[in-house]
Structures are given as structure tokens and as C-alpha cells.
A = this chain, B = another copy of it.
């Protein structure tokens, strides 16, 4: 069991890490775009992004499974290109997690971007900063805390999520079995010693990680202060 737990831990961290990275890369421009959109389609787009939240994970997982299956177009395409199936692979897990955790990343980012003082961007523009430059030199540092929040929400959600992963991943040890599933298995099979161990570990790990994160986050505050 323990070896399997270690494997699951590693896969979990890999999955959460890769997913979070992709989420940030996707989520940042998406949230930025949404926050500065004025078109009528914006609410619809926002609703679309928020959608995965209202579906039960296993159900979402099921529909993703259908989509990823080699019988469907996306799954077919993936197989044609990579030679392997999308479902039951690490890539599939990542894709599903990204889809599922997207709202948890995009929404806080979008709100943060909306709260941003546009005047500072204008100032940066007059100082010669291109739009991309402004994004990196003004927007990102200004929204550092919400960014951290978005990333940690994405990460935690990917770690804790399991309905989708179970469905898409197939719970294959060493490949797609993540910690949450191992934990689920342990509870299901009445192996409470393992369950308590994994749950305790997860909680401890999360506590340490999150505390560290939030402590780091408490650097001299950069929010607009009363002057």
C-alpha cells in the first residue's frame, strides 16, 4: 500500500502542478480579456467559464469521458496526433482538471483585474511600456495576492477533486491514481488505517503549504494604504 500511496502522491503533485501551470497560462489572458470586454457576449462567456462548477464532478467526468473517447471527434483527433488515447492517460487527466478547475482560477483573476486602477496602466503607457510590458510590470505585481489565491485555489481544487479524475483517469496505480482516489479507495475498502494516514498527510501537507504560502504573502503589504 505505502508504495502505491507514494506513487499517488507524486502523481497528484505532478497533476496539480502541471494543471495549475496550464491554468495560469490560460487563465491570465482569458481573465484579462474578459475583464476588459465590453461586448454583449461577455456575460455569456462568463457563464460558460463558470459552468463546470455546477455539474457534479463525476457527471462532468462522464461527459468528458464521452468526449475523450476515441469514438468521438476530439478523442479521435488526439489519438490520430499522439497515437494514444486521451482518456485514461496523464494528459487526459490534466486536460480534464484544467477544464474543471478553470472557473476557480479565472473568476478571482477577473475580479482582481477589474479592481485594478486603470490610471496606473495609463501612467505606464506614457512611460513607454507596451501592453505586454504593462501586463507584466504593473498588472501582475498589482494583483499578486489574487493571483496567489487563484493559483492556490486551482492547485487545491485539483488535489481535492476526484470525481472527474476517477472517471477520466480510471484509477490506474502509477499512472492515473492520485492521492484523493487512493484515499477514496482506502475509505471504500474500510482500510481506515491507510485512510487516516493519507487524510492526515493531506491535511498536514495542505496546512503547511498553505500556511507557508500565506506567510509569504504577508510581505510588507502593497495594497493602497491610507495615506
Contact = CB atoms under 8 A, between A and B. Distances in A.
Interface of A: 42-44, 46-48, 50-59, 62-63, 103-104, 107-108, 111-112, 114-119, 121-122, 145-146, 149, 152-153, 156-157, 159-163, 180-181, 183-184, 187, 195, 199, 202-203, 205-207, 209-215, 217-218, 221, 223-227
Contacts of A53: 153, 156-157, 159-160
A217 B107 CA distance: 14
17 contacts: A42-B214, A43-B210, A43-B212, A47-B213, A50-B156, A51-B206, A54-B160, A56-B161, A58-B184, A59-B184, A59-B187, A111-B146, A112-B115, A114-B221, A115-B146, A116-B223, A122-B226
B145 A215 contact: no
Contact of A145 (B114, B160, B161, B184): B114
Contacts of A108: 107-108, 111, 149
Contacts of A50: 152, 156, 206, 210
A218 B183 CA distance: 43
A56 B203 contact: no
B187 A58 contact: yes
A112 B112 CA distance: 8
Contact of A206 (B47, B104, B115, B214): B47
Given A53-B156, A157-B53, A163-B163, A149 B202 contact: no
A119 B226 contact: yes
A143 B171 CA distance: 42
A213 to B, nearest CB: 8
Given A43-B214, A206-B47, A214-B42, A118 B224 contact: yes
Given A112-B111, A187-B62, A117 B224 contact: yes
A36 to B, nearest CB: 11
B161 A211 contact: no
Nearest to A216: B43
Contacts of A114: 145, 221, 223
